[in-house]
Structure 1
């Protein structure tokens, strides 16, 4: 079984993509202000059509950003970082009708028909399935053996005894090579270790 799935790019010769119009952009009217009909990004690979069958993949995708086209570079930008005049992609459809294509099944071919069905039937893109955790376990095992695992944590992980113990077990088992956090995590972890409380509440019963 392939742990790290292979990415399969879209088939841009498909009729609906081959006939797609050139994507439209509109200037941001002010710093941090988006033009009407802006496209909010997903956690999936996203392409725009520049014309002549040339599609451009967005760099470093992320949820709830916007696409800004600067020359031949398509960036995903947080709305608050958009500056007046930035050329923001505008589109309300995701299947090529407006020159924008969100590739929902890029990893489904490797994972199999069941995974492709899951891609197309989940309630939202953020919704996990039980099988998603099976894949996560396999990726963690793979990266512990052949790579590095970096966790980015907030203080909530130590406000509950079970989640704190689970994270400790992962670290003890070698599933953490680096941990990135602010001082809140360290402060509340020390509180939990010394007093078994988080912000004064018992980390098991949640009682004050």
Structure 2
């Protein structure tokens, strides 16, 4: 039998990491023996387990170890990471280590060093001169890069589930249900937002056009204006319909305030794009007086960075839309590493894209009327996401009100 000893540490019972580890080993056809098990007795104590993992073949064992690493299991024997130089741009050496989105350290030159800019499905590159480790996507690899291969000398630390009073962000407990107590969740989000901003942290929004369609654009614009939002990630549609709403009072040709169909309103989004094209950019449109309000207006006026990632289905698109997918990904990646919270609202594709780029330490909320949007994020590895299934037209006003419970809300 091929075998290796792995270690688990943390609140591995409360977080169900220990039973998940045993299930995974058996599901993959392996076997295990628990060599040591130290149970933390107080809420502040952690538990530790040392487990001998066995399999019929080296390949089977390696597959099991790969999956266990995503649960936070590390190989007991202290060996340095193995490095192999890439021989070609965009090509990693065979057996390269593929990252999770959890905090990761590597043992290099006798020291555990943190892997910077962690995100899932990347390689780990080592800057030997400066003894620095960092994530690198496959597409960014250059010939000569020193890439970590195998799984020796790698330690992954998933976020721990709280022991004690349950809080909103209990990692690894992101069940999805439309029957959750909505107001309690929203008050919890508002509380976290205030705490993050009080500490100088940053909050990002990933938004879809339904924000505007439901009449909630003014609430998001107000949150940007009041300093709660530090970055916006969206596509052509949200920006276009936000601008359409400001210029014509419609979204997809429907009057936002009344819900009435407007004659020839179906052309308004194209006319909105045309006006911005005439100004040259959204910023220019604000400066020349064409655009006087809305989400994008507040981003410009308050120096809030935004990334508008293009799609093959876009009309126009607006001049600010980035049609190079890799460039969009690069800019979203930069924002993802700087954020402490991300709220993803009514956009499946952009939410999944952002989820792939986020470190698991970032508190994340996904709000959508469709439960499958929320579950897709969890299924793709973003286990830290809190899912809320509700109408966007309900969520944003309630969130705004929760942030201003003691304020006069007659005017937004």
Q: Is the 8 A contact 2:102 2:158 kept in 1?
A: yes
CA distance in 2, matches of 1:48, 1:148: 27
CA distance in 2, matches of 1:201, 1:79: 44
- In the alignment, structure 1 residue 50 sits paired with structure 2 residue 101: no
Q: Is the 8 A contact 2:79 2:153 kept in 1?
A: yes
Q: Is the 8 A contact 1:70 1:87 kept in 2?
A: yes
CA distance in 1, matches of 2:82, 2:138: 18
**Structure-2 change in CA distance of 1:44 and 1:182 (3 Å):** closer
Matching residue of 1:112: 163
CA distance in 1, matches of 2:103, 2:198: 28
> Could you tell me which of 157, 178, 181 is aligned with 1:103?
157
CA distance in 2, matches of 1:188, 1:166: 15
Alignment of 1:15-164 (within 5 A): 19-50=77-108, 52=110, 54-71=111-128, 72-91=131-150, 98-105=152-159, 107-108=160-161, 111-112=162-163, 119=171, 136-147=189-200, 149-151=202-204, 153=206, 156=209, 158=211, 160-161=213-214, 164=217
TM-score by structure 2 length? 0.35
SS at match of 1:58: strand
Structure 2: 5+ residue stretches without partners = 1-45, 52-73, 260-265, 267-412
CA distance in 1, matches of 2:186, 2:81: 36
CA distance in 1, matches of 2:88, 2:96: 14
**Structure-2 change in CA distance of 1:202 and 1:21 (3 Å):** farther
- In the alignment, structure 1 residue 167 sits paired with structure 2 residue 223: no
Q: Is the 8 A contact 2:223 2:229 kept in 1?
A: no
Aligned-residue offset at 1:63:
2.8
Structure 1: 5+ residue stretches without partners = 1-9
- Larger CA deviation: 144-153 vs 40-49: 144-153
> Could you tell me which of 241, 245, 251 is aligned with 1:188?
241
Deviations 1:154-206 (A, max 9, x none): 6546464266355246446x3525444689454331123425324x68988xx
Q: Is the 8 A contact 2:104 2:156 kept in 1?
A: yes
How many equivalent residue pairs?
180
TM-score by structure 1 length? 0.62
Q: Is the 8 A contact 1:158 1:192 kept in 2?
A: no
CA distance in 2, matches of 1:190, 1:141: 29
